[in-house]
Structure 1
Amino acid sequence: MTPSTTVRSPLRLYGRSGELAILEALLDLTGRGSALVLTAPPGLGRSALALHAADHHRAGPVLYTAAAPAERLLPYSGLHALLCSARTALPVLPAEVLRSGLASTALLDLLATLGARGRLLVCVDDIHAWDPRSRAALAFAAHRLDAGSGVRVLLTAAERHDGAEVFAGLPALRLAPLDDAAAGQLLEQLTERHINSAVREELLREGAGNPRLLTALVDGLTQAQLTGRQPLPEPLPGDEELLDACAAPLTRLPAGTRALLLLAAAAEEHEPDGAGADTGLLLRAARLAGIDPGGLTSAEAAGVLRGAGGRTRFTHRPTRGAVLHRAPPDRRRAAHRLLATALDGPHHALPRLIQLACATDGHDPALADALTLAATAPYPHTDRAAALTRAAALTPDGAPRGERYAAAAEHARLAGEPGRARALLARVRTVPAPGLAHYVRGQLALRDGPAADAAQALLTAAALLGPDDPVRRLDALLAAAEAAWASGDAAACLDALHRVPPDPGDPALERCLTGLRALLEGDADRGRALLYGCLGPPSGPPEGAAAQTRAGVAALALGEVDAACLAGARALAAVRAHGPEVLLPQALERLAHAELRAGRHAMARAHALEGLRAADRLGQRNAAAQLHALLALAASVEGPAAACAAHADAALAGAEPHGLVHAATLAGWAVARAELAVGRSAEAAARLAPLVGHGPRPGHFASRMPAVPCFVEAAVLAGRAVEAHPAVEDFAHWTATTADPHAAAQLARCRALLAPPGEAAVRYEEALAHHDRYGGDFERARTQLLYGHWLRRQRRTREARGPLRDALIGFERCGARLWCARVRGELRAAGEAVAATDGPSPLSPLTPQQQRIARCVAEGATNREVALRLSLSTRTVDHHLRNVFAALGIRSRTELARLLDRDGR
């Protein structure tokens, strides 16, 4: 194998902002002496931090040296190297001083003298490798630095090293491994972003947040392996020097303790990452081998292992790798055989076979078959993935090996480990690849990839799986329909549903699919009749997540939002009770979507936030985009506007590269609704027009109708009423076929907005009557707001105050804080005093009408747009704006915008 020879720029210190801040405070202290000891296991970057501190110290001289282990037996060799590191010659401690044992006080005097001339930094990397006398002398000086000496001492050391007691009492900082975000940034710089996503996740898992190990892993791979064109080697290349450094402290432990460390390392072969080893298993294996179990206590005292909750873990993951790699192969295999013997009983069948597989050198078809058979039992998906991976490695090349790697990838996916699943799929080398491999690849792309690619992979999988695997074939076709739906391709969604073979054994599924097909084909009456048959209460025991999810889809398609919320809650309960966890983001997303349609914005936000955390944890970026869009919709009601914009931007960032039209449509709708809330109707109308129209790039077919009321309101207020008429006719047709409780009231409101003055009041009253029957504080308050606005525009200001007061109360009751400010502005314009919600505003000297004009102008609206928005003449706006400038003592629109921006309102 030829390693990569990519030339890289110097590496940044990723994930060390806290440590850098502490170092900066150490270096910036004026007139005070200070010391700090940085400790860390090998490879975590303590040397890089020491170099950074030395390079960035500008306030005085620097004495920097890295310990030379070869000179450890030479007395005072460390001090000599330190003093010789100065750029200018320093006094050398006389030999008689060293022989007399006064080196410590002499060093203290010398450092104090140098510190008096300017802030001195004394930096020693790996002080644990210094000779003991130099170490003791510097420790003495560091403890006794006078507060006014101006000397800073920065030391780095390994954990639990010999002679550490001399530094006891000095401030210490222990470095932890990098988190995933920082480790990912480091990998991107190491590879210049030329890395496959599956390879990236595998290296992050193997690197365990250790910068040096991550660097070694990248350096040991070719460009083809990093980009996924070739599979990763087994095992992955590591850093031999790092392994030596991790293994060195272990040589001082008793033989029995070292034997237990090997057993602990071997026992983790069948455990999930970070789970550690079963302490009971280690103790049973130790008794079988005649090893004193007290060695575990010794290992914990040495800081190598830690035990908690019946599990034993290595405190530093590379130490486990060092134990395995430094043990001779025959001893490793013997440890695995011993663990297999200790795993007795039928409930340990799978772990026992995995340990036997680890003890096997080469292929073993019989053991591979046994592992494959055992993996069909109801073990956790992580264990089954591990078993099938071992079975594939024991299988000679050919179709069975590819099938087993694909099956292992499927269980890794269900365990919520998409990176591991992709890495396993890369090992499927059979041509053509088995249908299961396409199935897993499509399912992974459905959650984190282009939706169109996912649909094609799943259709291919369904064709290859055929009647031999009917369950996965059905899942593949339903997932392909879901992918097409997410991409807004109704024809592709219908095609996937048509490919589902009839199943007389599952009449509920058959009704649901036939009903959805009928709706997509335009046969609304037949589709609705069939889908209503899916909404009945479950007979017998509670149904699983899949059946409840289908019921929720049917309910949303019908507009039965309360039934959709109930089905979503049942599906979520089933996933939480029975798993797999990989379905949790989808369950929470569907429930939050139903709750938004029902007007339960606070509950939707809570479920969407939980779903977003799960999606981020499980690497499901498509689900995260959808959840960000739902959170943007919730924020377009509750506020603040900045949160709506942030969630919408995040949704679009994930939706656009993966073709997620539904998420993009919801995000655009959310931003437009937030713009309506603050009175920016022209912008809202421009944003919504393509989403509700039939142009070349329309919005999602399932979200077009729910967004129409917002478009009609925005278009009318922006002077584009002529564009709203076709949308209202479409909405009227949809209202006649949906059970959505808000649709009838929204239709009446839309018609009121477009009606002539003599008819508008009747339409508004009709809309409010519908609201009285079906509830919904937010939609009712929006109708009252528009009714009050219309009455004020008709010069019926006294009558306008009643609906506007009701609107304010309604928005406050449902938490629609973003809309309250608009209602207060309307009430002020209607001549009613409204209590301020916070401190005095810079617009306080202005009349209510002037305040509204000033805010519109500060947002960038022209005088004509302000006149249109506030139902005034352009001349009236000009007149008020001159008075605004005079009252506030400003001369331009720019100054007005800055004034309101500073105020933050």
Structure 2
Amino acid sequence: MTGQTTVGSPCRIYGRTTETAAVEALSDQLRSRRGGTLLLAAEPGRGRSALLALAAHAFTLGPVLRPRPLPGNPRPYGGIHALLCAAAEGRGAAPPRSGFGRGLSAADLPELLRQYAPGGEPLLVCVDDVHLWDAPSRAVLGSAARHPDPDRPIGLLLTMTEHRADDPDFTGLPLVRLGPLDDSAATALLHDLAGAVVDTSVRSELLSEAEGNPAVLAALAQRLTPDELGGHRPLPRPLVDGAALWATFGSRLAPLPASTRQLLLLAAAAHEPDPESAGADASLILRAAPEAGLDPAALDPAETARLVHHDGHRVTFGSSLLRRTAYTGVPSSQRRAAHALLATVIDADRYRLRHLLHLALAAQGPDTPLAADLVAAAAPGTPTSGMERSAALSRAAELTAHEDARTARLTAAAEYARLAGHPRRARRLLAATRDGTSPDTVHGRTELVRGSLALGDGPVGDAYQALLMAAERLGPFDAEAALEARMEAMDAAWAAGDADACLSALAETPLPAPPDDPAAAEAPPAPAPYAPARHGTHMRSDPQAPPPAPPHDPRRDYRTGLRTALDGHLTEAAPPLRRVVDRALHDDDPTRLLRAGVAALVLGDIPAACRANARALAVSRARGLAALTPRILEHLAYAELRAGRHAGARTHAQEGLRAAHRAGQRNVAAGQHAILALVASVEDDAAAVAAHAGAAVEIARPHGLLQTVTLAEWASARADLCRGRPFEAAARLGPLTRPGPGRGHFAVRMLALPCFVEAAVLSGATTEARAAVEEFALWAAQGVDPQAPAQLARCRALVAPPDDTADALYALALTRHDTAHGDFERARTQLLYGKWLRRRRRPAEAKNRLRDALVAFERCGAPAWAEQTRAELRATGDASAPVPAGGLTRLTPQQLRIARSVAEGATNREVALTLSVSPRTVDHHLRNVFALLGVRSRTELSRLVHHAERGGTQP
């Protein structure tokens, strides 16, 4: 992508792969002696001028004409005159006479250019902001673009603002729209602009504020000091002031009539209470306009200029940056007057919160009664959005003089923003609190919100400590909130793979009597309610008097059952966990349903886990719980993965990944990437496995997400096994599955152990595989994994001595598979059994097992595993097994397997271990492969195999 650069620095392009490719394609046309045109359209500040400048600088095939910008209201043919002046200036010739052009046609333009820019070499014409040219000049230029000069290749590279991209003079010509910068390109631009170390949280804030606009990002970098960029000092508010926005977007607003700009200010002010909504209430704006002496028709010029869109119900700005410019580009007195006017025309009885919020935005200083009214109107149960509640409480905090009450209201505003899926806003609000001077009840709430935010995006160790601190501070005052904090601390410890920390978080702690806190005694009553429920389902009205827990309270059952299970007493853990699962059949609380899904997984009831998470997703979608939905989708996708429903797991993980990015929850996104990597390892999309596993680990390692790391490494190892690379698979899984420090996640490592046993046996580490099987046997005996009994029998068959013991064990494994769902695992057992039977020279029996495995793999959507099975079938002499296309068809199945393994970099010894043959046999086959394919080295063989399997032709 592209962006602005610091003054005096050379022009540099940031990303913009598609756009630069289109410019290079235009140069290629000119190099081939063919003319062409390319239009670049973008909203102000997105870097179209920078891309034009770079293209002009890089063009070496001939002269480049870059006319100077035209003044406002240019005379007819002023654009063509400026173009020819640039051509004449380049030659040192006299410019054309002023006022020329009457009657000029498109056919005349090439002749004029030949006159002022002679020579037969290609010519590149670069016109910035061509939409500002006069109409006759645009018509001539557009017509010339459609009728290229046959005697000389001329390229037209034109830029225009986004809202003029459909100019009729240029309709049908190649058009590329420059979108906002993506995060990676914006980060690179910010790094170059800042010239200093930018703190991670500050960078995230700046990227969010700039919304992918390079000019706005440049203004931010120039405004902030090194200490602010480094996170050593608080950031100024607002981050982007009206002057910076007006410098970028003012050219869109300045030409409008004054009445239109006033009406746009009303629209922007009406949108301010809920800036994330779809737009401002059109009826409110149209009622306010006459009160301000404005004709509602004054909005028409803004619609014509595509600054806003009015659909009869909502008035929506073309972009949020335009809206912010219309709002902040005027003095604060005008903004306050707009809010005061809107407050007068709102039905205060029907829309009390909106009415009060506009009154508050019109206020100039502290106003305790108004702040209290805002807090009361933002209470749960009122028909309004979470973001509007957040705005109301944050504005109430600004109107509050008492520091403790202010902190409490900012904390509540932050929690509503978090629940609405806006963690950056939540962090900004928390940054404005002063926790050190607040009483424990307020400080505890603040730490609870801070810990919840870190759990979604940040090091989970930090989240754990913040949540435990919240529980300690809230315990004497609000046992319910303290328990919730401990539950979330347990979630953080679980993600980190720290079983001891999980037990600490779940430990029963006595609730001491409230301490004698002078600060709390002196503080005014906290605004009740001043903090929303953890997941938006309810809100306590009196934090000092929690209701008594009912018998078998689901949270206490969950806490007791999980703690007992982590202690290793699964029999005692089953009753409370089963009660949690059973309640989920008719529950409609998404948090309880989410925990019911966890309880079901601990019990080994995978279908119940899928049902509970699916119900939680339905409830979450119906209530619009943006902060909780990504996490529910992660749990549902994981449960479906455990159930062998790979297509469903992929669908929900993809949706969850998008939802996590929208909600700013990178930790959840990492988990979704790991699940997608596991799905891809079944489907054998090697590129997808690598991409998703890499994306998961990139976030998970610095954030301490051991569960995600273990899942990602398991996916990569399974992909290695599928591709015939057992040494690599064993190397990946060995550290994660061995006992002792540094191993994988306690709840995942046993799930990956059968994969490690297979890889270890195939790579010759049979002793290590046997030790792993014995550990897995202890796990399988606990009955918490439906697949474990069948997998245990398969693992015992793999490490069995070379006699008929393995036969009975494989048969036992298949019998046990019949009692558990999971076509993929059953197919893997059948494949391994078929291989064993073939090597025992029992081809007829092997064919039956392998055919069953082939059908199952195809049904599961596992093509590479199916290809492995076909190769084994061909090795048994099954003529019905398809033969791969291409020059490799000259090889026997055994030779093809050896060729593929060598192409992957395996040594003869490694291939021999994988195929259960001797190294001498591999050497013999490899010599024949070289002779058949006409290659002389492993490098040539690797190149040929890779080319063939990507669909290329054989040399």
Q: Same fold (TM over 0.5)?
A: yes
* 2:462 pairs with one of 453, 461, 470: 453
Contact 1:595 1:604 in 2 (8 A): yes
Aligned to 2:14: 14
Deviations 1:827-852 (A, max 9, x none): 22323234326523x33222222222
Alignment partner, residue 23 of structure 1: 23
Give the counterpart of 1:350 among 353, 362, 365.
353
8 Å contact from structure 2 (residues 643, 821) kept in 1: no
In 2, the alpha carbon distance for the partners of 1:873 and 1:328 equals 84
Q: CA deviation at 1:706?
A: 1.7
* Counterpart selection for 1:410 from 407, 415, 418: 415
Contact 1:127 1:156 in 2 (8 A): yes
- 1:707-726 Cα offsets, whole Å, 9 max, x none, are 22222222223222211233
**Alpha-carbon offset, residue 270 of structure 1:** 0.8
Q: 1:41·1:316 contact (CA, 8 Å) conserved in 2?
A: no
Counterpart CA distance in 2 for 1:230 and 1:887 is 70
Q: What residue in structure 2 maps to residue 889 of structure 1?
A: 934
Deviations 1:227-283 (CA, angstroms, capped at 9, x unpaired): 333222223344737616744564554444333122112112112236331111101
Task: State the partner residue of 1:112.
Answer: 114
How many angstroms apart in 1 are the aligned matches of 2:725 and 2:79? 74
**Which of 572, 586, 606 lines up with 1:526 in the alignment?**
572
2 CA distance for matches of 1:259 and 1:464?
A: 50
Which residue of 723, 726, 729 maps to 1:684? 729
C-alpha distance after superposition, 1:363-421 (max 9, x if no partner): 22222222222222343111111112212222237222222222222111111111222
Equivalent positions of 1:539-578 (< 5 A) are: 541-578=586-623
Residues 730 and 101 of structure 1: CA distance in aligned 2, closer, same or farther (over 3 Å) = closer
Q: Deviations over 1:94-149 (max 9, x none)?
A: 65x74796888987643133254322333344466679998899789878864434
Determine the structure 2 residue equivalent to 1:47.
49
- Normalised by the length of structure 1, the TM-score is 0.91
What displacement does 1:446 show? 0.9
Q: Write out per-residue CA displacement over residues 806-825 of structure 1, whole angstroms, 9 at most, x where no aligned residue.
A: 22222222222231122222
Look up the SS of the partner of 1:844 in the other structure. Answer: helix
Give the Å deviation of 1:431. Answer: 1.8
Q: Which amino acid aligns with 2:51?
A: L
- Matching of residue 709 in structure 1 with residue 714 in structure 2: no
* Residue number among 630, 651, 654 corresponding to 1:606 in the alignment: 651
Distance in 1, matches of 2:68 and 2:424, equals: 39
Quote how far apart the aligned CAs of 1:361 are: 1.4
Contact residue 45 and residue 212 of structure 1 kept, 8 A: yes
The residue aligned with 1:425 is 430
Q: Does 1:741 align with 2:786?
A: yes
Alignment of 1:185-224 (within 5 A): 185-191=188-194, 194-224=197-227
Alpha-carbon separation, structure 2, partners of 1:347 and 1:577? 24
Q: Secondary structure at the match of 2:125?
A: strand
Match of 1:536 among 570, 582, 588: 582
In structure 2, relative to structure 1, the CA distance for the partners of 1:150 and 1:423 (3 Å cut) is same
Instruction: Give the counterpart letter for 1:782 in structure 2.
Output: R
Offset, 1:331: 3.0
Which stretch has the larger CA shift, 648-657 or 44-53? 44-53
Q: How does 1:99-248 map to 2 (within 5 A)?
A: 109-113=111-115, 114=117, 116-126=119-129, 146-156=149-159, 171=173, 173=175, 175-181=177-183, 182-191=185-194, 194-238=197-241, 240=243, 243=246, 246-247=249-250
CA–CA separation in structure 1 for the residues paired with 2:10 and 2:788: 60
* Alpha-carbon contact 1:274-1:313 (below 8 Å) kept: no
Q: Distance in 2 between matches of 1:532 and 1:77?
A: 78
Q: Which residue of 2 aligns with 1:486?
A: 495
Residue 814 of structure 2: aligned partner: 768
RMSD of aligned Cα (Å): 3.3
Contact 2:493-2:502 at 8 Å conserved across structures? yes
Aligned pair in 2 of structure 1 residues 339, 770: CA closer, same or farther (>3 Å)? same
SS at match of 1:740: coil
| Counterpart contact for 2:682–2:862, Cα < 8 Å | yes
Match of 1:647 in 2: 692
Per the alignment, residue 618 of structure 1 pairs with 663
User: Hey, what's the Cα distance between the residues in 1 that align with 2:202 and 2:820?
Assistant: 53
1:803 and 1:170 map into 2 onto residues whose CA distance is 60
373 and 25 in structure 1: CA distance in 2 versus 1, 3 angstrom threshold: same
Counterpart residue number, 1:305? 308
Q: CA 1:769 to 1:232, structure 2 compared with 1: closer, same or farther past 3 Å? A: same
Quote the Cα distance in structure 2 between the aligned partners of 1:10 and 1:274: 40
- Which of 836, 846, 851 is the matching residue for 1:790? 836
Aligned equivalent of 1:323, options 323, 326, 348:
326
The two structures have a TM-score, normalised by structure 2, of 0.86
User: Residue 495 of structure 1 is aligned with which of 490, 504, 526?
Assistant: 504
DSSP-derived class of the 1:533 partner: helix
For 1:440-499, what per-residue CA distance to the aligned partner results, in whole angstroms no more than 9, with x for missing partners?
221111111111111111111212223433443222111110111111100001100115
Secondary structure of 2:889's aligned partner: coil
Give, in whole Å, the separation in 2 of the partners of 1:100 and 1:156: 23
Q: What does residue 394 of structure 1 align with?
A: 399
Question: Does 2:829 correspond to 1:829?
Answer: no
Q: Which residue of 1 aligns with 2:681?
A: 636
Question: Cα–Cα, structure 1 residues 520 and 66, in superposed 2: closer, same or farther, change >3 Å?
Answer: same
DSSP 3-state at the match of 2:745: coil
Distance in 2 separating the partners of 1:318 and 1:150: 40
CA distance in 1, matches of 2:168, 2:711: 63
The answer to whether the Cα contact below 8 Å between 2:40 and 2:178 also exists between their aligned partners in 1 is no
Cα offset, 1:84, TM superposition: 5.6
C-alpha distance in structure 2 between counterparts of 1:184 and 1:284, whole Å: 44
Stretch moving more, 199-208 or 85-94 = 85-94
Q: Which residue of 1 aligns with 2:857?
A: 811
Q: Please state if 1:475 is matched with 2:501.
A: no
Alpha-carbon offset, residue 27 of structure 1? 4.1
Deviations 1:714-773 (A, max 9, x none): 222322221123322222222222143222222222222233314222222222222233
Q: Provide structure 1 residue ranges, at least 5 long, that are not aligned to the other structure.
A: none
Q: 1:62 aligns with which of 55, 61, 64?
A: 64
Stretches of structure 2 that go unaligned for 5 or more consecutive residues are: 512-547, 951-955
> Matched residues in 1 for 2:769 and 2:872: separation?
24
Q: Is the 8 A contact 1:143 1:170 kept in 2?
A: no
Say which SS state the counterpart of residue 835 (structure 1) adopts.
coil
1:508 and 2:508 aligned: no
Q: 1:240 to 1:803 in 2, by over 3 A?
A: same
1:261 corresponds, among 260, 264, 270, to 264
Task: Give 1:292's aligned amino acid.
Answer: D
Contact between 1:257 and 1:299, CA under 8 Å: does it hold in 2? Answer: yes
Answer yes or no: is the 8 Å Cα contact 1:357–1:390 preserved in 2. Answer: yes
One-letter amino acid of the counterpart of residue 665, structure 2: Q
Please list the CA deviations of residues 567-603 of structure 1 after superposition, one character each: whole Å capped at 9, or x if unmatched: 1212222211224121112111111111222222222
Whole-angstrom CA distance in 2 between matches of 1:8 and 1:297: 41
The amino acid of 2:447's aligned partner reads: H
Percentage of identical aligned residues: 51
> How has the CA–CA distance of structure 1 residues 661 and 60 changed in structure 2, closer, same or farther, with 3 Å as cutoff?
same
Counterpart secondary structure, 2:351: helix
Q: Distance in 1 between matches of 2:916 and 2:325?
A: 76
> Residue type of the partner of 1:340?
A
CA distance in 1, matches of 2:944, 2:109: 60
Assess if the C-alpha contact under 8 Å between 1:216 and 1:238 holds in 2.
Answer: no
Residue of structure 2 aligned with 1:333, choices 325, 331, 336: 336
